[in-house]
Structures are given as structure tokens and as C-alpha cells.
Amino acid sequence: MDATGSINNEACVDAIENEINEEEIIDDSEERELVTDPCSTKVLDSSELPVDRYRVVYILFYLFGITSLVPWNFLITANDYWMYKFRDVTPKNLTILEDPPQKSQFQAEFTSYLNVATAIPNLIFLILNSLYGHLVSLKSRLQGSLIVVTLAFLVTTALVQVDTDEWQNTFFIITMVTVVIMTAASAVFIGGLVGIASRFSKEYMAAVVAGQSLGGIIAAIAQIISLAFKISPLHSALIYFIIADVMVISSLVSYAMLYKIDFFTHHILRGCGGMATNRHREVSMLLILKKIWVYAFSIFAVFGISMAVYPGITVLVESQNKASGTDWNTIFFVPVVNYLIFNCGDYSGRLVAGFFLIPENKWIIAGSSVLRIIGVPMLMLCNARPRHRLPVVFAADWEYIAIMLAFAFTNGYLTNIVMINATRKVEMHEREKASSVLATLLAVGLTAGAAVGMLLVRLL
């Protein structure tokens, strides 16, 4: 303890985590009335347990949730920037004010490459984190991954103002490499983050999950503002990336500060008091899968179904009055409905789930997750263009918006329900690995859904 009688948290955490890296621990009881401080002989009763003053830890978990998907949200939102960087630079197409007769090869294929560069590393590193993450301390994993994301995003930001017209091939390679690095680091961060959140009460996991959706709202609003003020692709991308840089750096600094807060370190070290008698108990991956496989399937189904149509199909949906030529129909319809409304619906679902946690039955959760597949044909039958086979059944804008809201809300609601309930079905010392398993199955769902989505576009 220091002179004030408080715990020297950071030194304590480092010492405990170094030992935990080699030997697993278990919490004898999640709700003890007496808690032994693992770094001293002091015994705390329930009235002395640390509290989250001013909700600082809760707010920071929100920030970490936002940061965890910064690479995806801000890179995909800057579509106009990528189209400008990879435009045809022959003399007749040097200005961005002209509409070229056709997209260049880079323009046509960039989004597909971006999806691959994010989906595959995300899946691989979530699996690696699930299997081998325990070999590296939680603190090192999260701080190290945030540092890598920061450096990679700074490179991306710096390249915005660099004239790359003469070396588009090299710029493309650099971009793909930085995206892979960012995504891999983000996957490690997400795996560790959900592991940390699982050690707290349900509202902290809800904060992380809701924060991920809030990040999409922030990116969508930034895009809409840039369109409203007719900001050039270069300047709008610079704004996006600077915002992303600030978020990641803020998370890096904030995470270091967390180890100064007793409430945080108390939950991180829960169960250390029983380490002496339980140090040889292993965390079995098969045992965890046996306990949560229904939830793992549910999270796979939720995101697999969502990615099958979002954004591959939904980004093609046009306003029924596009021919009128108004700004809403030609400029703002896709950004507002496809990105902002979807993310708002998703965010609302995650918030509501954090309060109600209904249903609790795992089979009802799994069934509800599968039932969302109804939204796939409904969205395909909206006014997506071009189409050659399927008819348009839901042509009105309000019909599409209503379907999109319901689809987004259920995505967010079930995501939160699964993440919170699943981690409550395992013991305290198993929660981090269980959370990593869920994050991995989520990534598998994203990858599978994206592959199916490519086929569905051809069926329109």
C-alpha cells in the first residue's frame, strides 16, 4: 500500500499477471461478502468494496468499444477518398469533378480487397488469441495492440496529403499491408477487451458491445457532414482519420490510467485469493465449448445473416424517387439509411438488451438468431439496383427503412443478449477464454456472411 493506505495497483497487477500467465486461477465465489486483497493481508467486507466513482470505468469501456472497430468503421466510410486515390489518372480523368465513363480496376476491386484484408486477419488473430492469448499478459496484449493500431493509422493519415498518382500500385500495397496490420491488432484488442469486460457486471459488457455500434454512428455522421458541406474526398478522409487517431490514442492513455483505479484492479484480480488452492486447474477449451456452444452458434448466426446482406445488398438500394434528382434521393439516401439508420438501430438494440436481458433461455436465443434470416429475402426484394432476376416487392422508401431498422435492432439486441448470457454460464476464471471463443465465432460469421453476400448480389 502507499502512504494513503490504498493498493499500489499497477505493481500488484503486473506481479499477479506474470504468475497467471503460467498458472490458471479460479474464483471460488462470484459474490463473496468477504474479499481478501491479493496484494495485502487486508480483508474487505461488502461495504468496503471499491465502487466505480463517477462511472469512469464504465465510460472508458464505452470508449474501448468504439475504438475496437475504428479501423473497419473509418476505413469503409472513406469510400470517396479511396475512389479518388485510385481514379484513372490519365489526362482526361485528372479532375475529381468529372464522372469517368467507367471505374478503374483499382476502384472496382478496392472494396473487395478491403473486405478480404479485414476479414481474414480478423478471423486468424481472434483464433490465435483464443488459443494462445493466455501466454501474454492481458495488459501487454491490449496496450501493445493499441500501439500497433495507432502507428498504422498514423501512416494511413499521413498518406492522405501525399500525391500518389504516379505510384498507385505501391500505394495500394502499402494500404493493404497497413489494413492487415491494423485489423490483426484490433482483433487482439477485441479478444482481450471482451475478456476484461466479462469479469465485471453485465452493464460493462453491454458498454463494450454498445460502444462498437456507437463507433459506426460516429463514422456515419462524419460522412454525412462532409457530404453536406461538400468537403473534398481528401479533406473528408483527413478528418475521418484524425478522429480515428484521437480515439485510439485516447484509449491507449485511458487504458494505462485504469490500473490506477481500485475498482478496475479489484475486478481484474478477482479470484486471486483462491490461487493457492486452485493454481493447477486448467481452463479446458472443450469444456468451455460444451457450456456455451449454443451461444457460440447464435452469435455466428446473427452476424452471418447480417453480413449476407449488409452492406453488400443494402448499399445497392436506391430511393424510389431517385429520378427527381434531389439531394436526399441522390446524395444522402445511402449514407443516411444504409449507414446511419442501420447503426442507430443496432445501437438501440444493444442498449435495450442491456436493460432487459430477455430471453434468457439459450434455445429461444438460438431460434431468434436463426429467424433473422427472414430479413435476407426481404432486403433483397427492396429497390436494389442493378437487378436482373428478382422483382422489387418493397419499392417504397419507408418500407425499406422499416425493414432495415428491424434488421438492425435485432442484430444489436441479440448480440448483447448472447455476449452477456454466455459469459454467465462459465466460471469466473473461464470467462476470458469464453469471451474469446464468442469473438472468434462472431468473426467466422462475418467471413461466412460476406462470402454468401457475394453470391446473393448475383441473384438480384
Task: Average the pLDDT over each of 3-7, 205-209, 233-237 and give the range with the smallest value.
Answer: 3-7
d(CA 425, CA 439): 16
Is residue 164 over pLDDT 50?
A: yes
pLDDT one-digit tens code per residue, 5-25: 444 556 555 655 555 454 444
**Residue 8 within any structural domain of the chain:** no
**Residue 197 within any structural domain of the chain:** yes
Are 141 and 188 within 8 A, CB to CB?
A: yes
Are 211 and 68 within 8 A, CB to CB?
A: yes
Q: What is the pLDDT at residue 198?
A: 86
**Residue 240 within any structural domain of the chain:** yes
Q: Which three cell numbers, joined as nine digits, stand for 113?
A: 480487397
Boundary of a domain, candidates 225, 247, 280:
280
Boundary of a domain, candidates 251, 280, 309:
280
Residues 80 and 205 reside in one and the same domain: yes
Residues 57 and 110 reside in one and the same domain: yes
Residues 311 and 186 reside in one and the same domain: no
Q: Which three cell numbers, joined as nine digits, stand for 330?
A: 441522390
* Four-residue CA torsion sign, 19, 23, 24, 25: negative
Q: What is the pLDDT at residue 20?
A: 47
Residues 254 and 302 reside in one and the same domain: no
pLDDT band at 214 (very low <50, low <70, confident <90, very high): very high
pLDDT one-digit tens code per residue, 262-293: 999 888 876 444 333 344 455 678 889 999 99
CB neighbour class for 142 (10 Å; exposed up to 12, middle 13-18, buried from 19):
buried
CATH of the domain at 147: 1.20.1250.20
pLDDT band at 227 (very low <50, low <70, confident <90, very high): confident
Are 228 and 335 within 8 A, CB to CB?
A: no
Helix axes 397-423, 342-356, angle to 10 degrees: 40
In three-state secondary structure terms, 382 is strand
pLDDT one-digit tens code per residue, 317-349: 999 988 888 889 888 998 899 989 999 999 999
pLDDT band at 42 (very low <50, low <70, confident <90, very high): very low
pLDDT band at 101 (very low <50, low <70, confident <90, very high): very low
Q: What is the pLDDT at residue 282?
A: 57
Q: What is the pLDDT at residue 429?
A: 80
Residues 273 and 351 reside in one and the same domain: no
Is residue 431 over pLDDT 90?
A: no
Q: What is the pLDDT at residue 24?
A: 43
Whole-Å CA distances, 296 to 184, 350, 393: 21, 18, 34
69-73, 85-89, 313-317, 400-404 — which one is most confidently predicted on average?
Answer: 400-404
pLDDT band at 26 (very low <50, low <70, confident <90, very high): very low
Q: What is the pLDDT at residue 47?
A: 55
Q: What percent of the chain has pLDDT over 90?
A: 43
Q: What is the pLDDT at residue 109?
A: 76
Q: What is the pLDDT at residue 375?
A: 97
**Residue 16 within any structural domain of the chain:** no
Is residue 249 over pLDDT 50?
A: yes
Residues 144 and 89 reside in one and the same domain: yes
Is residue 38 over pLDDT 50?
A: no
d(CA 42, CA 35): 9
- Structural domains in the chain (count): 2
Are 292 and 437 within 8 A, CB to CB?
A: yes
pLDDT one-digit tens code per residue, 129-159: 888 887 888 889 999 999 999 999 999 999 9
Is residue 35 over pLDDT 90?
A: no
List of residues 6+ apart from 238 with CB closer than 8 A: 157, 160, 161
Is residue 93 over pLDDT 60?
A: no
Taking residues 251-270, what's their average pLDDT? 89
Q: What percent of the chain has pLDDT over 70?
A: 84
Boundary of a domain, candidates 280, 305, 321:
280
Residues 41 and 124 reside in one and the same domain: yes
Q: Domain range holding 382?
A: 284-460
pLDDT band at 31 (very low <50, low <70, confident <90, very high): very low
Are 217 and 344 within 8 A, CB to CB?
A: yes
**Residue 23 within any structural domain of the chain:** no
Helix boundaries (H) for 48-99: 56-68, 70-77, 79-85
Amino acid symbol at 301:
A
